[in-house]
Structure 1
């Protein structure tokens, strides 16, 4: 567990499509002083679209150095470079809204490189097949036809990451999302 007095980081992870973002938005809306950090801002567009047993498309080094460590140090101004998906590279720096509680939702963050930087870890429980079905439906509704990526890349990456790092077992809390919304 990592925290400075008054500073905390909550990591929320689970399979792609499990409901991490939904839970994160609900928590941020209920925790005074909370700020959300989208894990998608730290995905490398090229690497996150290929097979990887450790979800290497998650920019864990950037996430740790640009945001998590500065937040826990108590830095008042934290600037990071979210990936610009159209340019396929880190974009222009943005300033993270100031808050004492940082809530991050992302795949692949319950990894040895980051675990000691979370004050609290929450795993969003979901059957892998249900998560894929839900994620594909969400993407289709947004006009994103990623079915091949879901079945050939993201779902296998989730399964391999879970087998290698046991992220659900590393979580201090587990939350069962309602997948039939």
Structure 2
């Protein structure tokens, strides 16, 4: 897959094939362009919504070393959003508010034809069964990490140590343990 138009066609075909609301998971290494691709995809699809993966990170655990991206709150994501969305039942979820340091008030699970979520560590046995299409942002770990560091610096955040001592090693461990690139339905270049 080489461009957004092709990805839109794949998502549209999957939605038509399933005949129900469709969950598109976009994952990749930190700094690989997941959020940018998710925003572009939602803008190109009729009746699509984006769910920010950062809303499902534990603010303490995400800064710790783990072999499975333990800081990703997959159980909460599955129970509160993915299942209700796919089953077309009412539900509520809470986002993590990074500015206030707490979960927000509950809000309704969005209704749409397509839900796009972008998140590190998304292609995990807990979440994979609820993803109708898994899109991997194809870029090497070193380049993605350098992009992430540069982005954070541009935003006035110095996370260099966390990137090199926690997030990059977490990515390596997760990749070795769960092979997210190999389980993806689509490899999308984000170079």
TM over 0.5: yes
Superposition misfits of 4+ residues, deviation over 6 angstroms: none
Which residue of the partner structure matches residue 147 of structure 2?
Answer: 134
Gaps in structure 2 of 5+ consecutive residues: 1-13
Q: For residue 109 of structure 1, give the secondary structure of its aligned residue in structure 2.
A: coil
> Residue 65 of structure 2 is aligned with which of 51, 73, 81?
51
Alignment partners' CA distance in 2, 1:86 and 1:7: 31
Which residue of the partner structure matches residue 25 of structure 1?
Answer: 39
Alignment partners' CA distance in 2, 1:149 and 1:123: 23
TM-score w.r.t. the length of structure 2 is 0.88
Q: Deviations over 1:81-136 (max 9, x none)?
A: 11122454423212344212000000011000111101100000111110010001
Alignment partners' CA distance in 2, 1:155 and 1:82: 25
Would you say the 8 A contact 2:85–2:111 is kept in 1?
A: no
Gaps in structure 1 of 5+ consecutive residues: none
Would you say the 8 A contact 1:125–1:176 is kept in 2?
A: yes
Would you say the 8 A contact 1:11–1:120 is kept in 2?
A: yes
Q: How many residues align?
A: 177
The alpha carbon displacement at 1:144 in A equals 1.0
> Residue 95 of structure 1 is aligned with which of 108, 131, 138?
108
**CA-based RMSD:** 1.7
Would you say the 8 A contact 1:44–1:88 is kept in 2?
A: no
Q: Does 1:36 find its partner at 2:50?
A: yes
TM-score w.r.t. the length of structure 1 is 0.92
Would you say the 8 A contact 1:67–1:80 is kept in 2?
A: yes
Which residue of the partner structure matches residue 70 of structure 1?
Answer: 84
